[in-house]
Structure formats: C-alpha cells, structure tokens
Chain A
Amino acid sequence: MKQALEKIVAEICDSFGNDRTRLMDITTAVQRRFGCVSDSAIDLIARAVKTHRVEIESLVTFYSFFSKEEQGKVVIRLCDDIVDWMKGYQQIADALVKELGISIGETTSDGEITLTRTPCIGMSDQAPAALVNDVAVTYLTPERAVKMVRELRKHLDPHQLVTVLGEGNNSNPLVHSMVRNNIRQKGAVLFADFESGTALKRTLNMTPESVIGEIKASKLRGRGGAGFPTGLKWEFASKTKADRRFIICNADEGEPGTFKDRVLLTERAEMLFEGMTIAGYAVGAELGILYLRGEYSYLFSYLNHVLETRKNSGLLGNSIMGKQGFNFDIRIQLGAGAYVCGEETALISSCEGKRGDPKNRPPFPPQEGYMGCPTVVNNVESFCCASRIMIEGAKWFSAMGSPRTAGTKALSISGDCRRPGVYEVPFGTKASDLLELCEAENPGAMLIGGPCRQMIGPNRFGGIICYDDLATGGSIIVFNKARNKLEIAEHYLDFFIEESCGYCTPCRVGLVLLKKYVRKVVSGAGEPQDLDKMLKLSNMIVSTSRCGLGQAAPNPVLGALNNFRELYESMVSERKHGLQPDFDLTSAVVDSELFVGRRSLYV
C-alpha cells in the first residue's frame, strides 16, 4: 500500500513536471485518487517538487476540497447557501443524515460516503443542490436525496445519477450534466449568436494599440462587480516593461447567488476563449489561464476539448490565424473550494500553486501579477464582451446601457420568484423591472450583488442596475416579505467567517466578534448599546481589512443595521443594575465542573 502511494504520487508529480507552481493540480489529483492528502502524501509531494512539507500542508489545509483525513469514495457536498435554505435545505439534510446514519461532516463506517456542507455552488436557480464528487445534483427533494443515497450505495458512481440531461451543452457527452441553463432573457452582447474566429479576425487586422483603443472607446467596465475600465487595465499591462505577460480569466464565480458565468462557460466557451486571445494580442501575452472554480469541474473536460479544437483550427497556438509572431495558448487551472480566490490577487496566488492568500496591493496585477509579471485578470463576462466589441465595434456597444455604464449585464436571479435563471439586460434596468421579469413572489427585499454588496428594501426598488447605483457582479436574490432579514444577515456573516483567509486581524478576529454581538442581539439578550458596538466594529473591519473580502464582510450586518434597523431595535432592551444578560453562568463553569468532577445542582 505504501509503495503504491509512493509510486502513484511520484507519477502524479511527474505528470506536472514536478513543478511547484502546479501544486494545485498535483494536490487535486492526489486528493481524487486517495480521498485525502495524507501526511505521507504531503512528504512525498514535498520531496518531488523540492519544497518543505509545511508548505504543502499550508496549501492542503487552506482549500476546503482538500483534506488530510481520508474521505469517503463519494463525497456529498450539500449546498447551504441561503437560497437552498429557502428551498428546503434542512429537510434534505435531515433526510440524508437519517438515511446515511451519520452527521454532517462525517463518513459512513464502511468508508463509502462522506456528507458535508459547502457554500453556494452556483446552482441557486435550481436549488436545493449538491455536489456529489464532481457531479452537480439539482432540484433536490428529501425523497430524491434518499433515492440518490440508495443508488450510490449500489454503484458508488455519481455519474450514474445523471439520467435526465440539461439543455444545450449540458447534454454534450463531455459535460453530461443534469444542470439546466435557465436562460430567461437573451441580450445582444452575450447570448446573441457567435461564430468562432470572427472577432479574432477583425482584431488581427488591427495593431495591439488600436485594439486597446477600441476596448477603451467601448467604455467596457469589469463585469466581476468592481467595474474597473477594461481597456485601461489592458493598457497598464501592455505598458509595463516585462519579458512575459499573462491573461487570466476569473471563473471562480463564488459570490453567493451568482451563476451566470456557469451558463457562459457552458454556452459561450468559444466567445470567452476568443476574448482571452484578443486580450493576449492586445497586451502581448503568450499564455492565458482560465481559473475554473472547483465546483464547476464538471465542465473541465468540455472546456479542454474546446481549447483543443481551437488549437486544431489555428485559433490558438503558434501564428494564430496565420499572424506571424502571435502565439497564444490557454490552460485551465482548477480551484478547490475557496471563495477568497475570487479576489484577483488571491486567485493569482492560487494559480502559482500557493494558499489563496491575497497579495499586498499595490503593486496591482497589471504591474506585477502572476509570477511577478504584468497580468490582466478579467471576469468571464468581460472577455465575452470584448469578443462582441471586436465584432460590432465600440460605438455599437457604448450606445447600450445607462449613461455611465455601457452594454448589457448578465444577471443571475434566484430566490422567491417563479422564473429563476439568467437574464441579460441593458445596464440601467430598474430593480422593479427585474422583479416583474422573474415573477417575484411578494417581494420584501432584494440582495443585489450578493452578500458582499447590499440588501435593499421596497423603498429602493426604483434604483437601477449600474456601477453608480445598484452595482452587482451578477447576483440578485429576491426575498419575500416573510423572510427574516436578520437571519439572512447572520447566515452570510457565518459564510464570511468560514471563507476568510485569516491573514489579517480585523477580518480573522473581528468577524468572529461581530458574530457574537449579532447572536446576542438576535437571541434577545442584547442591549441598545450593542447596536452601536456592532456598527463601530463593522466600520473598523471595513476600514482596516487587507482585501476586498474583509472590507465587504460586515456588509450583511451593516445593510441590516442601515436599511432595517428597526428590526434589530425591536430585539434589544435596556437592562437594570448592570446585569449582563448574555452571560450564561451555567455554561461558563461547565469545563471547571468537569475538571473537579462536580455538577451544579441548579442546571
């Protein structure tokens, strides 16, 4: 057994050239093969790639899809995002726990099945959902969950769970997935027809400088949510002196409630890769990396196949479309379950085979990114837009949208509505129009841009989708009037606590403390001054955290405090005589009672 481990780990490391920067791939392969990355495997990998074992351990313990302890042959990751909760997470979890005879986080005694939870897997339009190894299982019900377990017990092959295929490329044999696209509204930029090579052909007739000029003139801004002008980013990268430059596509769609990139990756892969190639030409890069979140690994083979086909048709590789000296290739980097890797510098760390710790900024990636070289990191949708702009022209593109935000936006709408799915709408669309489009049911609040942004009430439903008003990377979750907004805020605070990388103090410790205050208030033990303490602590975390995650993590609480303060106020009351209602004496002395072997009589 030990020899087998040695041999197989050596083979895996060898297949990635024993390259330390490919540790994500090496670790993923070892995890898949053995159900864990054990201490022995860590030693073997460290030896093969010539680094210290603690460096490997550091990486393995960072990503939630890796584990040092052996997991079952089948791992069921039940998605526990708020939308899944709204659609029956608890009943499904209960059914699975009962059927498997284990708790969440455990493995069956025969070592066959592990049950665990995971944050949003990008299936909110078909929630409740789960990942069974790399197979997405959607539209779960307690009955279907039980049936699934019984089947898995027979063959331990998650792929056999897929009997009904989703539409479009979901039914491509290389995808073979039950996932549905749920494209509800097609727009002119993303979901209009696209023919491979057309955008690139026009691009290669221009100089790199004029391509950047065209993107700048189109007023395209980053679709990931931050809205940085894409052309400007490309220009910075092209003007930084360097031997090598890189293009990275951020397909780590982790913001809860976002799934539009999933659909673009499924249906517009050609358009995406063409956009990356255009960027490569404009910036002078020879390598592009698609950072695909681990949750979407079911698309890996298909996307690789598209890359192969493009290589064979001269759309990738050397002298692309006959253009001498223009060489560009793309590889796919698979993530392994870490929300923070959606932050571009953390994503770069991960591509380099490290923990997904964000880097210090400045320098920004266009100055110093992947391997210390100028790097353009753009969202899936941004690259798709770039392709369309090169076909239709900057003028055509900038004529669409709101006065200050050009083009269309792909939105992922889910929650309390009859028609959840992907909507491509022009920027400037009103929130209230979206509610109508998706047939929202008794809407009381909308979470625009996911938990890292803001929750709005009906008084702001007249606002418009754009960077200056309701900014979003694509996530829109609708809540009906009966939903408990404080529960939602707390749920997402838990999410950020889990997903913090732990690098800086305010985010690592501050969020845990913020949670204590929230729990105190929500449990009815809060005093009026606790709300001010929550506000002060939240502002401090926002102001002093090192990266975008920490700077946004208090937003669910801040949003609730700012927009729905009366809800918190109704839960706190003044206490007399300096009594601390949150201090539970009984539980405080449990450890000491255990130690001295006595129990209080008054429990």
Chain B
Amino acid sequence: MTKNKQTLTITIDGKKIAVEEGITILKAAEKAGIYIPHLCAYKDLIPHGSCRVCSVRVNGRIQASCVQTVSEGMVIESDTAELLEYRRMIVDMLFVEGNHFCMFCEKSGHCELQAMAYRFGITAPQFPYLNPNRDIDLSHPDVFLDHNRCILCGRCVRTSQELDHKNVFQFVNRGHKKRLEVNAKGLAETDLNVTDSVVNACPVGALMKKRVGYEVPIGNRPFDHASIGSEIEKTEGERK
C-alpha cells in the first residue's frame, strides 16, 4: 500500500496552503506554522473532538479542527473575534467546572489550561464557579489522580489504550455528572506503571507523578516564558 497522497490546497485565515489529503485541519495548520488552540487533541492519538477549543469556521460552519479532515478548496477561519470569544468561553467553562487553584498548583507553568487562559488574556472567569465536590486518589505509590483538576479531555483514556495498550481510564456517568474512573477500586489496583506514557499525557494537574512536583522551579517552566503554541508559530517565523 504505497499509494501516493494527493496534495490539496486549502485556505486558513486568508493564507493559501498546500496540504496532503487525509490529515486534519489542525495538523495541516500546524505544519504551515499556524497554531489553532486545542486541549483534547494530543500527539497522534485518535482525535476526540470533545473540548471544542479548536473550533474553526469551515466553509461557514463551525467544526472541530482536530477531527475534520481537509478537502480541496476548503476555506477555514480560525483567528477571528467570534472564535476567540468562543474559545475564551470554553476555557472559562473548564475553569469553573472543576476546582482550579493555579497559585497553589504544582502544575503551574506546565499546565495547558492555565497557559491557554494566559494566551487568551483571561484573568478571571466570566462564569460563576460550580464548586464541585471531587475526590483525590492517592492510592498508587508513584502517581496520583486529582479529580478536582480534571477537564475530561480523555487524553489519559486514549493514551492508556493506544500507546500503553492498557485500559486504565474510562469515563463514567453522563452529562454534568460525567467523571473519570479507573479500571479498579483505586489507581493502586490497576496495572498503571509510572513509566507508562499516560503519566505524561494530562494537560492539567489531574494525573501527576508523585515526589517530582517542584523539580523544575516555578519561573523556569515552559509556559513561564513562552505562550502556548509559540513553538509552532516560531517555526513559521523562521520559514519567512
């Protein structure tokens, strides 16, 4: 099966780019040095399309760019006032849905949700806090799960399945009661190992390694210096 992939032309924010067929809008944009903000899309995992941060307008209709594949002549808008507003609202929703205390959180500076809020210029959520009662699972010797910070992006669910070939995590319940569950009474009883890829998959501080929280001091962390997405945009600058 060495079928040559066709090259298609699409337009993102007025810029014409050549892309290979079959890839998603998000990936195509990234290759062209255009960053479309996203949270649940992660590496080469099967896209989830759940956070909706990567929403773009495709030929006039709003679609999640992480799941939508490119087609010839597609006209995509991403950097518009409307979409920025929607993305802000989504990030706000994720903040008020859980219990996020950036100032005390060891993930600060590594956290994609926090970084997204900085990128969007959010200082405080516009929505009222929902203040849910959520648990912390400290049973595992090397890893802990703090449900307070979980944003239900499913990166752990998919990484465990697709990269670790296990099935440690899954969602239970539905609607606003939906939450992450593990494949046993607690994390300690699962086959989760600290060396599994899933341990590094969480965008927020929900799934964390124990005893290494402050190895990199605050102030020296990636998002302390550069905004999320800037690596992608920088490549574009170099190309110019």
On whether the two chains bind one another, the answer is: yes
Interface residues of B in 139-190 (CB under 8 A from A): 152, 167, 169-178, 181-184
Q: Report yes or no: A509 in contact with B93, Cβ–Cβ below 8 A.
A: yes
For B177, the chain A residues whose CB sits under 8 A away are 502
B50 contact set on A, CB distance < 8 A: 503-505, 546
Query: How many residues of chain B have a CB within 8 Å of chain A?
Result: 39
Q: Are B170 and A540 touching (Cβ within 8 A)?
A: no
Looking at chain A's contact residues, is the secondary structure mostly helix, strand, loop, or mixed? helix
Determine if A544 and B174 form an interchain contact, defined as CB atoms under 8 angstroms apart. Answer: no
B90 at interface by CB-CB < 8 Å: yes
**Residues 53 to 70 of chain A near chain B (Cβ within 8 Å):** 53-55, 57-58, 61-62
A544 to B63, CA, bound (A): 7
CB nearest to A499 among chain B residues: B175
Distance (whole angstroms) from the CB of B38 to the closest CB of chain A = 12
The reply to whether B175 and A505 contact each other, CB–CB distance below 8 Å, is no
The reply to whether A498 and B175 form a contact with Cβ atoms under 8 Å apart is: yes
Complex contact A508–B171 (CB within 8 A): no
Interface size classification for chain A:
35 or more
- With both beta carbons as reference points, the residue of chain B lying nearest to A514 in the complex is identified as B127
The docked-state distance in angstroms from the alpha carbon of A556 to that of B146 is 36
List residues of chain A with CB within 8 A of the CB of B169.
54
Closest Cβ–Cβ distance, residue A550 to chain B (whole Å): 9
Cα distance, A540 to B176, chains bound together (Å): 18
Q: A54 touches which one: B89, B178, B183 (CB < 8 A)?
A: B183
Contact check, B183 vs A61: say whether CB atoms are below 8 A apart: no
Query: Contact at B128–A544, with CB atoms within 8 Å?
Result: no
Q: Is B74 engaged at the interface, CB distance under 8 Å to the other chain? A: no
B175 in complex: contacting residue of A57, A508, A545, CB < 8 Å: A508
Q: Contact: A509 with B49, CB < 8 Å?
A: no
* A497/B176 in contact, CB under 8 A: yes
Q: How far is A506 from B68 in the complex, measured between Cα atoms in Å?
A: 18
| Residues B174 and A500 in contact, CB atoms below 8 Å apart | yes
CB distance from B17 to the nearest CB of A (A): 21
Bound Cα distance A501, B86 (Å):
21
Structural contact, A54 and B175, CB atoms closer than 8 A: no
User: With an 8 A cutoff between CB atoms, is B23 at the interface?
Assistant: no
| A505–B90 CB distance below 8 A | yes
Q: Does A516 contact B (CB under 8 A)?
A: yes
Question: Known interface pairs A54-B183, A360-B47. Does A62 touch B93 (Cβ–Cβ under 8 Å)?
Answer: no
Q: For the complex, is B130 an interface residue (Cβ under 8 Å from A)?
A: yes
Partner of B174, one of A55, A502, A537: A502
- CB of B52 within 8 A of CB of A55, answer no
Specify the chain A residue showing the minimal Cβ separation from B126. A533
- B90, A506: Cβ atoms under 8 Å? yes
> Across the interface, do A544 and B152 meet the contact criterion of CB distance under 8 Å?
no
Interface assignment of B228: CB less than 8 Å from any CB of chain A: no
Q: Are B175 and A52 within 8 A (Cβ)?
A: no
Q: Choose among A340, A511, A543 the residue with the greatest number of B CB atoms under 10 Å from its CB.
A: A543
Partner of B94, one of A360, A498, A505, A545: A505
A508 near B152: Cβ-Cβ < 8 Å: yes
Q: How far, in whole Å, are A96 and B177 apart by their CA atoms in the complex?
A: 27
**Residues A360 and B67 in contact in the complex (CB < 8 Å), given A504-B49, A509-B96, A516-B128:** yes
CB-CB nearest in chain B for A68: B172
Question: What are the interface flags for A45-57 relative to B under an 8 Å C-beta threshold, 1 for contact and 0 otherwise?
Answer: 0000000111101
Task: State in angstroms the CA–CA spacing of A503 and B157 once bound together.
Answer: 13
Q: Whole-angstrom distance from the CB of B70 to the nearest CB of chain A?
A: 12
Chain B hits for A451, CB < 8 A: none
Q: A513, B96: Cβ atoms under 8 Å? A: yes
Known interface pairs A501-B175, A505-B51; A52-B167 also in contact (CB < 8 Å): yes
Tell me if B55 counts as interface (CB < 8 A to partner A).
yes
B175 to chain A: which residues have CB within 8 Å?
497-502, 508
A514-549 contacts to B (CB < 8 Å) = 516, 537, 540, 543-546
Contact between A546 and B64, CB atoms less than 8 A apart: yes
Query: Is A95 part of the contact surface with B, judged by Cβ < 8 Å?
Result: no
A488 to B172, CA, bound (A): 30
A509 vs B49: C-alpha distance in the bound complex, in angstroms? Answer: 15
- Asked if B97 and A509 make an inter-chain contact with CB atoms under 8 angstroms apart, the answer reads yes
> Binary interface profile of B, 73-95, with partner A (CB < 8 Å = 1, else 0)?
00000000000011001100110
Closest chain A CB from B149 CB (angstroms): 15
Contact B176 A502 (CB under 8 A): yes
CB distance from A206 to the nearest CB of B (A): 35
Residue from the list B62, B93, B172, B182 in contact with A505, Cβ < 8 A: B93
Report B-chain residues with C-beta under 8 Å of the C-beta of A340: 174
Contacts of B51 in A (CB 8 A): 504-505
Residues of A within 8 A of B62 (CB): 543-544
How many angstroms from the CA of A545 to the CA of B93 in the assembled complex?
13
| Alpha-carbon separation in the docked complex, A497 to B176 (Å) | 7
B180 to A, closest residue via Cβ = A54
Is residue A510 contacting chain B, with contact meaning CB distance below 8 A? yes
19 A-B pairs besides A502-B173, A505-B52 with CB distance below 8 A are A52-B170, A54-B167, A54-B184, A55-B167, A57-B181, A500-B174, A502-B175, A502-B176, A505-B50, A505-B53, A505-B93, A506-B89, A509-B93, A509-B97, A509-B176, A510-B93, A540-B86, A544-B52, A546-B49
- 30 residue pairs bridging A and B, Cβ less than 8 Å apart: A53-B184, A54-B170, A54-B182, A55-B167, A57-B170, A57-B181, A338-B174, A360-B47, A360-B67, A362-B68, A497-B175, A497-B176, A502-B173, A505-B50, A505-B51, A505-B53, A505-B97, A508-B97, A508-B152, A508-B175, A509-B94, A510-B89, A511-B176, A512-B176, A513-B127, A513-B128, A540-B86, A540-B89, A543-B86, A546-B64
Question: What are the nearest 3 A-B pairs in CB distance?
Answer: A502-B178, A509-B93, A54-B183
